Structure 1
Amino acid sequence: MKLLIGNKNYSSWSFRVWLTMKVKEIEFEEDLRPFDVENDYADFFEFSPTGKVPVLQHDGLTVVESLAILEYLAEQFPDKNLWPANPRSRSDARCISHEMHAGFMALRAACPMNMRRKHAAIAVDEAVLKDVRRIETIWSQCLDKSGGPFLFGDYSIADGMYAPIVNRLQIYELSNIDAVASYTQTMTSLTPWQDWDKAARDEPWVIDIDEV
């Protein structure tokens, strides 16, 4: 398996898949391709039909889109329990993962993932605050039901999908509720998270993240 990813400082969609594969100990070759903003990512089309990352290459297949990749991995590695075993929990995990994939546009636009950014609050509009409140509700309800430390007890695809949101809420100081603080501690304490964070900080590239 080869996973093609973008810059670790900025590539939230790459982070979702990479983190999950590392936590679940799924072996893969990492192939980092720096964002080429000036050329409109022309070289990405050499390996990605969408011109975007991440891309998983496996057994002659090219799988694109983070959630599709994670679903593919769940099928390939049923023993890794990428989704919760309980049917109700699995349904809930899929629902909130798809909500993440398709939603929270205001938050994602106003507060891009940036592993190197110093923690500091910014002024945000009501649309962003609405997204934050919804995320607070999701995390609180999931952690209350499961008992933690992850959203459904053990790490699942749902945690991977929300990993960049952990970064956003933390660095832009968007929430101060206990559930967010607890979950942030759980996620950022993961060894793969810390490995990604260190690599992101060591990267030489600086990009206007509005263009990523």
Structure 2
Amino acid sequence: MLGGACQNDHKTFEEYYDLGGGVKIYSRKSWEARAPKQFQSFQKPASFFFIHHTDGSLCYEFHSCVTTLKEIQHFHMDTRGWDDIGYSFLVGQDGNIYEGRGWDHVGAHTLHYNTSGYAASFMGNFMTHPPNDASLTAVKKLIDYGISQGYIAATYKLYGHRDVGNTACPGDALYPIIQTWPHYTHTKPENSLLKLT
């Protein structure tokens, strides 16, 4: 269900898709994302779904999350030289999802797996404390929605970023939580499934 309302002095348009239960997917337009330099179309459905954390600031409401999103996008595009913000989706402690590259474009989030998987990144650092229940629920709803719409294969495998890379991401406090979720697996994809990106 599409929704939206004009709010605040900056005339930000809160354009979103309502997943129900108070969870929204806010569009790129809603957070005034920069246009990508270029993009590659994602060939659906995804076989994998990756969980990350941004290792940056927490945000607890729409406007602070917008500020954080813009900072991440500027860092990815201007410092790292990427074509766009790297993640498919980002999630705030407000319990909402924010569109990064979205369902249609290949991300830059998980080396060697970008063309075969999506990634949701929790905004913040979750080494010492977990994300709140609202944000955890939001990501579960996002995955369920992705399956229902054919974006994610029903047989998908769920991973933390550290499962396929030399990193602490998605954080010591978040990682054990996602290991209890459906489809989580410790087994890395076979090399034959890798598509270098």
The TM-score normalised by the length of structure 2 is 0.31
Quick check: which one's strand share is greater? Answer: 2
Instruction: Point out the structure with max Rg over C-alpha.
Output: 1
The TM-score normalised by the length of structure 1 is 0.30
